[in-house]
Structure 1
Amino acid sequence: MPDPTVELFERLGRRAHDPMLEYVRGTVRFDLATDAEILYWLVTIDDGDLRVTREEADADCVVHSTKARFDRIAIGSESAMAMLLRAEVVAHGDIQLLVLLERLLPGPPGAKGPRLAKGAR
């Protein structure tokens, strides 16, 4: 069974550059808890260039969630911002980076717009 979170971060990494983030610089680390461990994903944005790695490094914004909750974000059935407002996801640091990065996360099934569609590169 495919892992929606892995697929999302792989798609972001393949995207390489996004003009919507042309003047953005910063790092967002996602700490995703499972029953056995914490999975780390680091998204680096450098004037629109995206790089995704699996490292536990210092970041400008750190997002804490369970893996199960983040899977819902990864498939587009939940909004990261809505989950943040409900305290189902917690973020520290430069939250504006998360707001900007959310533009690249999947929207609800059938939604149209600039968001990263499932399967898009």
Structure 2
Amino acid sequence: MLWALAGVVVLMGSLGWPSAIAWADNEAEASTPAVIEPVTELNATDIPSEKVDQFVSAYLSVAELIDDRTADLQRAETEAESMQLQRAVESEAFTLIQAAGLTRQDYFQLLGLANTDPEFRDRVLAQLEESAT
């Protein structure tokens, strides 16, 4: 499966927000060259508010996309049809992430940080609550 709903229950569950979105992009990994740029360690205090806003915007857009397309994915009758739909959703999601001003790497780093850093998670939750009002 190219994408999966990965639970960030701690992050979103208590507010009723959809689970966070993450992809197991196996095909992309298989075609990635052997030289991979090192990922720098993120520190929650170093992330500007603008980046948090961009992440929240991307997260909400991707969550809405997944919510809108889940029924289509569940109705897929063949594995091939399911994979085709998954790729289409994944492509749309990455377009939404870029439209919010983030790269895939930015999005996944911030998503990971929201799952592991209580301070950053609180910043994201505050932005989500603000977006809901």
Query: What TM-score does the superposition give when structure 2 sets the normalisation length?
Result: 0.24
Q: Kindly indicate whether structure 1 or structure 2 has the higher relative contact order, using CA contacts under 8 Å at least 6 residues apart.
A: 2
Select the structure that is richer in helix. 2
Query: What TM-score does the superposition give when structure 1 sets the normalisation length?
Result: 0.26
Larger Rg: 2
